[in-house]
Structure 1
């Protein structure tokens, strides 16, 4: 491909800048993103014009519109750093990542609470079982040594589960 005239270059730069401003405002065409590919399509130039080229001697030289690509990426990064994301899909992805992180934290917190409650339940059941065994032991002692239940007995008789004394 041959060289382009200065008029064509100026016209292309103007259309790239206009497309850059539209994209950075969030005015994206359907299916477009806020990236160099969409910028090239919106401006009507080839995407390769934004990247460095190899000269015939093997050295690199800048692409004709590489400085505009760098400006676009710099402005896009500045907007993103300020919290303004012009690409609705990218903004949605960020919102979903934030929501996902919050939900993961809530699940971890709930798992921790469930583990604590399970441990508490196990401890409570163990204590109830120990108390039941102690009650059964005391009832057995009372049955074997009736003198403990005398008129002013040391051990008071407890009701059995069937209501007998």
Structure 2
């Protein structure tokens, strides 16, 4: 591919700057994004002009529109840092990522609560079972007293001292 003339280059740079302003305002074509590919398509230039070129001798030189591509990326980053999203899909992606992170935190908190409640339920059930066993034991005493116990006489006739 041959070199372009200075007038063609300046015309292309004007078209790139106009397309850059449109994209950064949020005026995106259908199916387009706020990126270098869409910028090149809107300006009518090839996308390779935004990237460095390698010569046959291995040397690297700047692409003809690389300075404009760098400016576009810099301005786009500044807009994003300011909280503005020219591409509504990028804004939606950021919103969904934040919502997803919040939901993950809520699920983790609920999992913790469920684990604590499950442990508490296990403790309560074991205590209830122990109490039920104790109640059953107290209601149904053994019919014969143990051998070491002696019976107390029920004869109240021998009162020592006054009962008043």
2:66 — aligned with what? Answer: 66
1:130 — aligned with what? Answer: 130
**What root-mean-square deviation, in Å, do the aligned CA atoms of Structure 1 and Structure 2 show?**
1.5
Any gaps of 5 or more consecutive residues in structure 2? 146-150, 152-164
1:162 — aligned with what? Answer: none
Question: Runs of 4+ in structure 1 displaced over 3 angstroms?
Answer: 142-145
Deviation digits for residues 108-144 of structure 1 (CA, Å, limit 9, x no counterpart): 1111111111111111111110100111111123765
Any gaps of 5 or more consecutive residues in structure 1? 148-165
The structure with the largest helix share of the pair is 1
**Structure with the greater alpha carbon radius of gyration:** 2
1:25 — aligned with what? Answer: 25
1:7 — aligned with what? Answer: 7
Give 1:18 deviation, angstroms: 0.6
Q: How far, CA to CA, are the matches of 1:123 and 1:52 in structure 2? A: 69
Give 1:56 deviation, angstroms: 2.8
Normalised by the length of structure 2, the TM-score is 0.84
Taking the TM superposition and a 5 Å limit, the aligned residue runs for 1:2-151 are 2-141=2-141
Q: How far, CA to CA, are the matches of 1:121 and 1:144 in structure 2? A: 38
